[in-house]
């Protein structure tokens, strides 16, 4: 560790900040139990589920119009229909556990009791359709279009003599024994006549009907007793909360992802309220809407239309038309997540000769079908991973981490070796026998060349992107971008300072010298094998300062080349790089270009630029000693940071803190790291249909975006060069993304003393 890094960390520790302790934090994991080879046609909301212990096993039951299905949770066997029973011939509307080994089943032609797999019809009710069964506080209440029945203490069934709306959708029983009924015509309360004697008696039953003007909506489908004293009634349009019979609060449909509330369940142990909607599942910790969690997309649910929710210990079961999803909760620390992600990286995201990036899934969502794939940014993200290993080694001094970093560095060096052009680095490399790669070689017609030149005057036609290595073992990809070179220098400097042994330091010095000399000798462009610069590899003064087609990139590219030169001087110690650095700053006046390097033009702003800038600043701040240049860099980084400090981005926040030594929005960064799911599959998430989201055209004009930043669990997989505000993201679960986006900021936070 060099003196500047040591001094900066000392300043962190003395700054008065309180590092965030890495306490365990709730994480959710999805386990699906789909209906395989079974088609359910029934219109919701009648797809009930329940969990019951039966003969020593936890059994999940699922009711449909075709009958009752079951699966043993321990074995996760396929769904099996319970055959040879009266339940085969029609719709099952509700299921409720009565006691161990026993449950009531409401069906199209009556009420049934299952007792240790024996099913018997309750004859007292006859052949009526039973829509709802509810058991609480010693009462069994059954709702039907034909009326309401209660099972007495003597085991006999009594029909209540009360006029009710026939559209009974849900029932709740409060601690006083009062019965609350959600109907299609409003909310009904039936008083416990044994405890209430000051209301008008109507045919031996006390009742009160809440009219529409008091409720969010009269079209109700769910009611639940919360905290023993609140009644939550939900349906079309939101939820009404009552206490002591009076409305105390309303949540509208704009508070939820779906306009229809389908289920409300209260977990007395955790205090969480689980709310099913027609567009996802919502969890309110202690009923707190500000901290709500939304579960949508295939990452969390088999289908976004939720029709039943059951809590079983630490597991939450969600009934949908495609089967049942199970959310399990486990407390994990950031360190445990980092350890898991490192294992995943080594298992599925590292390919020969040491490249780290995403992998392809032949079957969407099935990681057992993974296979390696290439990406334009393989070299860049491999260097980000190298940097995370280097910082991890600086924190832990683990020799195995250092050896892993050494292997990855060897693969990075190969990206230059395989081209056989000293100083030119391939975008990526794959084995020669790969039959599927991104951007196949293609013949470009004169017509397409002409069209592209008009459409994009900077367009470079590249027919041969992939070339064979001389030994015939590899295909390497050219047209390397400035993005790649920036990420290489970023990873190299951190590896050199914090992790590389003497052997790799010498290799790195030679590599840096070859790359930097080639860029300088070629006139500050990156020349490909065809003798012309790559599409994006341009840092030349005559282009950045005088070519209007490069006006959008002039500040960023100027900062990039200064960072390369400063890094080259630091690693090699050769004055020629420092002289070129100063020449560009002074004679070419790059100092003026970089003050406002970040482009905030409405039509040209990108998050790719944000990430590239985050890669350039550390070397400039760590290696520069002159105050006149540091002053400009501080102005530049402040201009960059003002546009991304509201994104709760741990990578950007920690790099800003690394450079500036002050507020990195630590709490928001830690919250983001904690909320990043363990699931790295890039499921499609479409937030355009959510009722609690407004769609906008900012900050990136060309994207439809959400008006507020959503947590990582409510979007596709995060990568910091992507627009997290996009309303629709993901690729249908066909890829699993490398967790580099987590590992680097996590270890940087550890290194800076921000995370204990």
**Same domain as 245, residue 197:** yes
Domain of 276? Answer: 265-330
Of 612, 610, 666, 618, the C-alpha closest to 639 is 610
DSSP for 250-279 reads EEEGGGSSSSBEEEEEE-TTT-EEEEEETT
Range of 92-101, 144-153, 711-720 with top mean pLDDT: 711-720
Whole-angstrom Cα distance, residue 727 to residue 700? 12
Whole-angstrom Cα distance, residue 606 to residue 247? 47
CB 570 within 8 A of CB 623: yes
CB 462 within 8 A of CB 480: no
Residue where a domain terminates, one of 242, 264, 286: 264
Tell me 528's DSSP state. Answer: -
pLDDT of residue 664: 81
- The model's confidence at residue 334, banded by pLDDT at 50, 70 and 90, is very high
The domain total for the chain is 3
Whole-angstrom Cα distance, residue 569 to residue 577? 5
Q: Mean of the pLDDT values across residues 315-338?
A: 96
CB 113 within 8 A of CB 98: yes
**Same domain as 619, residue 605:** yes
pLDDT of residue 43: 57
DSSP for 710-722 reads PPGGGSS---TTS
> Is the pLDDT score of 13 beyond 50?
no
CB 438 within 8 A of CB 372: no
pLDDT in tens, 706-730: 999 999 999 999 999 999 999 999 9
**Same domain as 284, residue 145:** no
Identify the helix (H) or strand (E) that includes residue 572: helix 554-572
**Same domain as 201, residue 138:** yes
pLDDT of residue 152: 75
**Torsions phi, psi for 372 (to 5 deg):** -65, 155
Question: Mean pLDDT over all residues of the chain?
Answer: 92
pLDDT of residue 41: 65
pLDDT of residue 66: 82
> Is the pLDDT score of 348 beyond 50?
yes
Tokens of 514: 């070859």
**Same domain as 236, residue 100:** yes
Q: Is residue 6 part of a domain?
A: no
Q: Is residue 370 part of a domain?
A: no
Residue where a domain terminates, one of 280, 307, 330: 330
Tokens of 354: 């040491």
Q: Mean of the pLDDT values across residues 160-169?
A: 89
Q: Mean of the pLDDT values across residues 476-493?
A: 97
- The model's confidence at residue 198, banded by pLDDT at 50, 70 and 90, is very low
Query: In the chain, count of helices (H) and strands (E)?
Result: 16, 42
Nearest-5° Cα angle at 260, 258 to 264: 100
Whole-angstrom Cα distance, residue 89 to residue 77? 24
Whole-angstrom Cα distance, residue 755 to residue 416? 36
pLDDT of residue 3: 42
pLDDT in tens, 683-693: 999 999 999 99
- The model's confidence at residue 197, banded by pLDDT at 50, 70 and 90, is very low
Q: Which residues are CB-contacts of 80 (< 8 A; sequence separation ≥ 6)?
A: 69, 70, 71
What value does the CA radius of gyration of the chain take, rounded to a whole number of Å?
32
**Same domain as 194, residue 240:** yes
pLDDT of residue 6: 47
Whole-angstrom Cα distance, residue 207 to residue 192? 9
User: Helix, strand, coil: what percent of the chain each, to 5?
Assistant: 35, 30, 40
> Is the pLDDT score of 28 beyond 70?
yes
> Is the pLDDT score of 42 beyond 60?
no
Q: Is residue 742 part of a domain?
A: no
**Same domain as 293, residue 247:** no
Residue where a domain terminates, one of 282, 306, 330: 330
**Which pairing describes strands 168-173 and 179-183: parallel, antiparallel, or unpaired?**
antiparallel
Whole-angstrom Cα distance, residue 95 to residue 668? 43
**Same domain as 283, residue 252:** no
**Same domain as 204, residue 62:** yes
**Same domain as 307, residue 289:** yes
- The model's confidence at residue 604, banded by pLDDT at 50, 70 and 90, is confident
Q: Mean of the pLDDT values across residues 299-314?
A: 95
**Same domain as 73, residue 35:** yes
Q: Is residue 280 part of a domain?
A: yes
> Is the pLDDT score of 10 beyond 50?
no
pLDDT of residue 136: 87
Give burial (CB, 10 Å; 0-12/13-18/19+) of 660: middle
Residue 119 belongs to a domain with what CATH number? 2.130.10.10
pLDDT in tens, 628-671: 999 999 999 999 999 999 999 999 999 999 999 987 899 999 99
Q: Mean of the pLDDT values across residues 177-194?
A: 88
Tell me 367's DSSP state. Answer: G
Q: Three-state SS for 592?
A: helix
Taking each helix axis as running N to C, give the angle between helix 482-498 and helix 607-623, from 0 to 180 degrees, rounded to the nearest 10. 40
Q: Which residues are CB-contacts of 621 (< 8 A; sequence separation ≥ 6)?
A: 630, 633, 637, 658, 659, 660
Whole-angstrom Cα distance, residue 258 to residue 118? 39
pLDDT of residue 16: 47
pLDDT of residue 81: 83
CB 384 within 8 A of CB 491: yes
Q: Is residue 159 part of a domain?
A: yes
Residue predicted with more confidence, 520 or 138: 520
Q: Mean of the pLDDT values across residues 433-453?
A: 93
pLDDT of residue 199: 32
Q: Is residue 336 part of a domain?
A: no
> Is the pLDDT score of 45 beyond 90?
no
Tokens of 599: 């482009």
Report residue 284 CA to chain centroid gap.
18
Lowest-confidence pick of 335-339, 488-492, 597-601? 597-601
pLDDT of residue 82: 82
Q: Mean of the pLDDT values across residues 726-735?
A: 97
Whole-angstrom Cα distance, residue 56 to residue 122? 26
Of 272, 277, 270, 224, the C-alpha closest to 252 is 277
- The model's confidence at residue 155, banded by pLDDT at 50, 70 and 90, is confident
Of 469, 492, 277, 470, the C-alpha closest to 380 is 492
> Is the pLDDT score of 202 beyond 60?
no
Whole-angstrom Cα distance, residue 506 to residue 753? 30
Q: Is residue 574 part of a domain?
A: yes
Residue predicted with more confidence, 363 or 457: 363
**Same domain as 275, residue 216:** no
Nearest-5° Cα angle at 22, 20 to 397: 100
Q: Is residue 84 part of a domain?
A: yes
> Is the pLDDT score of 54 beyond 90?
no
pLDDT in tens, 242-295: 999 899 999 999 999 999 999 999 999 999 999 999 999 999 999 999 999 999
């Amino acid at each position: 560790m060099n003196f500047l890094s040591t001094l900066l960390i000392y300043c962190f520790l003395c700054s008065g900040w309180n590092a965030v302790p890495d306490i365990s934090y709730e994480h959710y994991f999805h386990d699906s139990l789909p209906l395989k080879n079974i088609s359910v046609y029934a219109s919701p909301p009648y797809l009930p589920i329940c969990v019951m212990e039966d003969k020593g096993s936890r059994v999940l039951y699922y009711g449909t119009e075709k009958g009752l299905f079951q699966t043993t949770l321990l074995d996760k066997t396929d769904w099996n229909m319970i055959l040879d029973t009266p339940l085969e011939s029609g719709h099952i509307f509700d299921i409720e556990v009565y006691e161990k080994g026993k449950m009531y089943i409401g069906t199209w032609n009556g009420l049934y009791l299952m007792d240790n797999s024996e099913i018997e019809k309750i004859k007292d009710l006859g052949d009526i359709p039973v829509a709802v069964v509810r058991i609480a506080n010693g009462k069994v209440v059954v709702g039907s279009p034909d009326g309401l029945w209660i099972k007495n203490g003597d085991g006999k069934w009594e029909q209540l003599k009360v006029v009710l709306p026939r559209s009974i959708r849900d029932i709740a029983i409060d601690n006083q024994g009062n019965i609350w009924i959600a109907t299609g015509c409003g909310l009904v309360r039936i008083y416990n006549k044994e405890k209430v004697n000051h209301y008008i008696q109507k045919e031996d039953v006390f009742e009160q009907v809440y009219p529409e003007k008091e409720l969010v909506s009269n079209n109700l489908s769910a009611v639940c007793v919360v905290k023993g004293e609140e009644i939550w009634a939900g349906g079309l349009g939101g939820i009404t909360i009552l206490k002591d019979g009076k409305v105390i609060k309303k949540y509208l449909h704009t508070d939820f992802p779906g306009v229809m509330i389908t289920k409300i369940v209260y977990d007395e142990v955790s205090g969480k309220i689980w709310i099913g909607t027609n567009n996802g599942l919502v969890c309110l910790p202690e009923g707190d809407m500000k901290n709500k969690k939304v579960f949508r997309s295939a990452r969390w649910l088999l289908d976004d239309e939720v029709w039943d929710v059951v809590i079983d210990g630490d597991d939450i079961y969600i009934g949908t038309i495609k089967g049942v999803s199970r959310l399990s909760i486990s407390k994990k620390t950031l360190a445990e997540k980092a350890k898991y992600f490192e294992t995943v990286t080594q298992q599925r995201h590292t390919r020969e000769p040491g490249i780290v990036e995403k992998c392809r899934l032949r079957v969407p969502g099935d990681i057992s079908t993974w296979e390696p794939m290439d990406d334009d940014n393989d070299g860049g993200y491999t260097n980000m991973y190298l940097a995370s290993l280097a910082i991890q080694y600086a924190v832990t001094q683990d020799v195995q981490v250092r050896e892993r970093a050494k292997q990855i560095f060897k693969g990075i060096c190969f990206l230059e070796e395989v081209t056989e052009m000293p100083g030119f680095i391939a975008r990526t490399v794959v084995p020669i026998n790969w039959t599927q790669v991104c951007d196949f070689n293609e013949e470009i017609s004169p017509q397409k060349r002409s069209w592209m030149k008009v459409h994009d005057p900077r367009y470079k036609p590249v027919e041969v992107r992939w070339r064979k290595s001389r030994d015939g073992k590899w295909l390497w990809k050219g047209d390397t971008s400035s993005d790649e070179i920036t990420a290489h220098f970023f990873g190299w400097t951190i590896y050199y300072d914090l992790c590389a042994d003497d052997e790799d330091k010498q290799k790195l010095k030679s590599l840096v010298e070859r790359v930097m000399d080639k860029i300088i000798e070629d006139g500050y462009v990156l020349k490909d094998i065809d003798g012309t610069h790559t599409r994006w590899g341009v840092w030349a003064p005559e282009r950045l300062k005088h070519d209007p087609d490069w006006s959008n990139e002039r500040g960023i590219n100027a900062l990039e080349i200064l960072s390369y030169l400063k890094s080259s001087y630091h690693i090699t110690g050769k004055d020629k790089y420092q002289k070129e650095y100063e020449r560009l700053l002074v004679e070419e006046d790059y100092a003026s270009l970089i003050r406002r390097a970040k482009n905030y033009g409405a039509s040209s702003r990108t998050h790719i630029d944000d990430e590239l800038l985050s890669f350039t600043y550390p070397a400039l701040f760590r290696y520069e000693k002159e105050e006149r240049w540091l002053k400009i860099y501080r102005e530049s980084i402040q201009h960059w940071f003002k546009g991304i400090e509201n994104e709760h981005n741990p990578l950007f926040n920690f790099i800003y803190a690394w450079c500036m030594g002050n507020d990195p929005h630590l709490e928001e960064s830690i919250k983001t790291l904690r909320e990043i799911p363990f699931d790295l599959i890039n499921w499609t998430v479409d937030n355009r249909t959510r009722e609690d989201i407004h769609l906008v055209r900012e900050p990136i004009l060309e994207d439809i975006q959400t008006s507020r930043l959503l947590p990582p669990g409510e979007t596709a997989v995060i990568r910091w060069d992507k627009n997290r505000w996009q309303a629709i993201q993901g690729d249908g679960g066909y890829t699993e993304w490398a967790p580099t986006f987590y590992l680097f900021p996590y270890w940087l936070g550890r290194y800076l003393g921000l995370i204990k």
